[in-house]
Amino acid sequence: MKVLVTGASGFLGQATAAAVRDAGHEVRTFQRRPSGVAGVQDVAGTMTDLAAVARAVEGVDAVVHLAAKVSLAGDPADFVRVNVDGTRALVDAARRAGARRFVFVSSPSVAHTGSSLVGAGAGVAEPQHARGDYARTKAAAELLALDADAPGCAVVAVRPHLVWGPGDTQLIGRIVERARAGRLPLLDSGAALIDTLYVDNAASAMVAALEHAADDDVHGNAYVVTNGEPRPVADLLAGICAASGVAAPRWHVPAAVARVAGSLVEAVWRVRPGQDEPPMTRFLAEQLSTAHWFDQRRTRTDLQWAPSVSIDEGLARLADAARVSR
């Protein structure tokens, strides 16, 4: 197949474009800057440029849509323009161009309303109840993408959960930066169980979704994808810090206090935004203090997929990469 991968200059986007290429497909990418992926055709553009979106989908058989505005803060209108309006434009353009498959890369946060998720399934995306502008707009975008599932154009949503690995400047980068500065607390006891996903596993899951999107049991559905190895937050943070050569967090903050502080920080950030992500938000406090791990049986059966890199092996690879970079 000739496959368009959007957002291929990002951490997961690069890995996905390379995995789709390695699976034998012809890959075109679409993003604001070069993808850095060898053997693919880069097309420059943004999700808000309708003409560029239309050019990007010309002649493709399938789309894997990762491009999004991902942030804990920012102008709400920007999230709508990129995540909702951009997805709508891409879906419409892809269908007009004759694409037969569309993989929408979503997030488990679209169905997270603040309470613990214990062995949960995908659940229905809830734009009205999801936490934060990113989650709300991704929920709305997922619903409109899945609504386009129809004979001749199979649509599937994949929700990778907390993707990490060497080279990740978002999750890993921020954990390490804050731990090094002594600004990484554990909320409550740090015992909440959470699922994560090593980047190579995330990319292979995207290929599986692409190749099985038209299966009767797959199209029209949403799937959460994780390593299936839930660990306490404290253990996971300690493993990441140890692999990265920084001290693990040792001080504790009550989750209720962090949630209130996060709400206050969000209010200040809306008036006087900083240059980086806010140090705490209510959504982040909820993520660090509530369990969220997922039943992977349906994901693995329907997509005929399983992770190939364990959490421990991923941490070893992270440590190897950190030693090389020092």
- The residues assigned a catalytic role are 134
CA-wise closest residue to 175 among 270, 288, 272: 288
Element containing residue 91 per DSSP (H, E): helix 86-97
Q: Say how far apart CA 59 and CA 61 lie, in whole Å.
A: 7
Pair type for strands 193-194 and 231-232: antiparallel
SS (H, E, C) 233-301: HHHHHHHHHHHHCCCCCCCEECHHHHHHHHHHHHHHHHHCCCCCCCCCCHHHHHHHHCCEEECCHHHHH
Q: Are 166 and 237 in contact (CB under 8 A)?
A: no
Rounded CA-CA distance 78/98 in Å is: 29
Backbone angles phi, psi at 177, to 5 degrees: -60, -45
Contact 135, 186 (CB under 8 A): no
Q: Which two tokens stand for residue 61?
A: 């058989």
Distances (CA, A) of 7 to 32, 66, 67, 212, 234: 8, 5, 4, 21, 31
CB-based contact 99:57 (threshold 8 Å): yes
Cα 74 to Cα 266: distance, rounded to the nearest angstrom: 10
Nearest in space to 30 (alpha carbons), one of 58, 2, 9: 9
Say how far apart CA 255 and CA 269 lie, in whole Å.
Answer: 20
